[in-house]
Structure 1
């Protein structure tokens, strides 16, 4: 459902707004429509809208929910949408030609973390005897080894073990596969060179696509046995009593770009001033969301609980967004970094995050050939645009809206995070400048 009310600039711009316009120049395009999927991590768009940050940049913005990730991407490509809340893998997958082929770019990371893997009540009960338990509660993180007897029992009965994720190049697909493979469970390969894009070659489990808002209902119907998705659709399963989140993505791999704001490269080249101004508004939204130890999160959760944003109950959204996460009913645990929107330089488009996604595309066969390290870096630089982000950040600093301490040191920033910034459930270390050496460490996966 579209937001019907629109931002207005009023009769005249304030002096502060005039000062803002002096640096970048007026937006080439003022009327904009941005798409999103009904997930908690669309919230930077909602906050930039509701708090007038787009208005401060001279932009008239409409936000519109999309049916699924494929439709969203296609509408950005065709120009029906000026930009959108995207899976971090979508601009990369499109640009390298997996699935829909188009040059999509991003200059803004919307968040880090924010996903979980949920299993049906039946699967959870079968897993529990295989878990470490203290004081009646499982010790987190839960290894996927606990699933092996469950999968084997299904196989003995001649039945598949079915799992859902939201899109082939989604974080959720790669996190789910990473978690399974870390326990020796083969999640299957893609073979686009031979026309097989099911991702189920040599698989011990069958992973398929389900749109995020449909995950709980699909689980309840028995069509899938579990899924990996963003919020609020894991907590929704808990509230409805139909499933149990067994691990969050923070424990599978943490602090890598989750969603990004994506535009076509053609759009970015045609409207450079507009692009910088959009990024400025989104940076301010991210900063507000993490300010004062997440003090603004309850207000943000209330905003996006409205039907034209996420449309889930406030209590469900707040359960993860305000620093806690509920696993089995009543098992509520502290999770301050379950959603990160600004700290750890979350909004900066790091090349190393792009490289990690490309390694996962290669690991599971979406990139069919072994590529040299230089190729990974070239693709990262083609898709992720820190130069646009830096321009936006410098203007916010000059305007006094944010401090230089809020950002990386642009004079020394390489675009590659420190190797200890991200930890993985299997203990393997990721160096974004050595992607092939990283891939060679896995027992399951292509190199």
Structure 2
């Protein structure tokens, strides 16, 4: 049950804005530099820039692609970047001291869904005998990892490690890939930072390692890895190049899962409260533009993202997922209208329960070495996810008349916790109010023990 302590925190931080966020004055810092990685879910930043939403808030923004997620985070911490498109796990990991320690917060969730898991053509052929088929011969989706298990077992019997790629140790991609594998009876391995082991490969059936997103297809083609989990357009790129087959999307692993966030340091938010609210306003406007009128603006968004400065992939590759479809095998194009969600379903709201899910996965796989109490999860989420800032930005937009109240949560009653979610591939229900009990439901993963 949600503790009285965290319930009180929710009421204070969401329902009643503190004086620091009550009024939106002119930005204290007008010239800003934001970082991003070349993925389609950086779209709110590109749209806020290209459509003048930042300038409408008196902000003059430079967007700059970063080499990888570590460089991006380090540059936010040092102040070389004022903020960035981040993996949802990065602000949480930094704040609890896993990796580089710094207090990073997020006032804005950038999207839902958007990732996929792709395997090589050879692995796909090996999986086919274990996959259920439709009458027309196409695979039944979602494809469980149990169809991959005999393939992994065969590699193990031959003494060959089965290598797969993900983008960063605290990425959604790492946790989604691990979730899918474990749901199919494949152990993805543990971390043990208290023992000096950060490989994440202890007791593993499949060896996961980091590969930067744009390099995923080439690494797969070279045979260094046999599959990967990544955001778009790098699953669709494998299809277009004819080198791999996406087997499942993250929408099928966890329906409408939270993806990236916009991260800034706590010091930035404290020093520049008006700037923080205004940049959040611009991002909310961009997210709405991306989803409004049943995704009518997506073709224009794809044109923008296909520029080399942003994502730099071909229009058709980006459009394959951004416009509501997804291609599995070449020619097997299926309707997935919610593959990328930027605004609907309160996608932009920084829910505490989203933060808690990521923290449970850090614990499940050993990145958090020791068991924690429910209150620890609640308090950590409240340090990092900042719905109070979001609410200030949303209320300002409502006053300006560009939005209606139904487009946002009810800030007077919102607790920051979604209702229990049961649309996971393994059928296990996640209730953010009971993280410890949630972890105890899994057959594979740490619960009350230290590795």
Residue 423 of structure 2 corresponds to which residue in structure 1? Answer: 423
Match of 1:11 in 2: none
Provide the residue aligned with 1:166 in structure 2.
167
Say yes or no: does 1:408 pair with 2:405. Answer: no
Give the equivalent residue in structure 1 for 2:58. 58
Work out whether residues 213 and 230 of structure 2, in 8 Å CA contact, stay in contact via their aligned partners in 1.
yes
1:259 alignment counterpart? 260
Deviation at 1:256, TM superposition (A): 2.6
Contact 2:352 2:385 (8 Å CA) reproduced: yes
Q: State how far apart, in whole Å, the 2-side matches of 1:342 and 1:426 are.
A: 27
Equivalence map 1:361-376=2 (5 Å): 361-376=362-377
Show the counterpart of 1:40: 40
* Partner of residue 14, structure 2: none
Report what 2:303 is aligned to: 302
* TM-score normalised to structure 1 length: 0.94
1:227-268 C-alpha deviation (Å, 9 max, x unpaired) = 000000000000000000000000111223200000011111
TM-score (norm 2): 0.93
User: Unaligned 5+ residue runs, structure 2?
Assistant: 1-21
Runs of 4+ aligned structure 1 residues displaced above 2 Å come to: none
1:103 aligns with 2:95: no
Match of residue 145 from structure 1: 146
Per-residue deviation, 1:148: 1.2
Tell me which residue corresponds to 2:181. Answer: 180
CA displacement 1:26-47 (0-9 Å, x = unmatched): 1110000000000000000000
Rounded Cα–Cα distance in structure 2 between residues aligned with 1:314 and 1:37: 18
SS of residue matched to 1:138: coil
Mapped pair 1:30 → 2:34? no
SS of 2:260 mapped into structure 1: strand
Higher relative contact order (CA 8 A, sep 6+): 2
- Alpha carbon RMSD of aligned pairs, Å? 0.9
Deviation at 1:156, TM superposition (A): 1.7
1:154 is matched with 155
Aligned to 1:121: 121
After superposition, the C-alpha distances for 1:80-111 in whole angstroms (9 at most, x for unaligned) are 00000000010001111111111100000000
Shift of 1:23: 4.5
Q: What secondary structure sits across from 2:111 in the alignment?
A: strand
Gaps of 5+ in 1: 1-21
Separation (CA, whole Å) in 2 of partners of 1:343 and 1:93: 27
- The count of aligned residue pairs is 425
Partner of 2:132: 132
Matched with 2:444 is: 444
Q: Secondary structure at the match of 2:61?
A: strand
Instruction: Decide whether the 8 Å contact of 2:250 with 2:257 is kept in 1.
Output: no
- 1:402 positional shift: 1.1
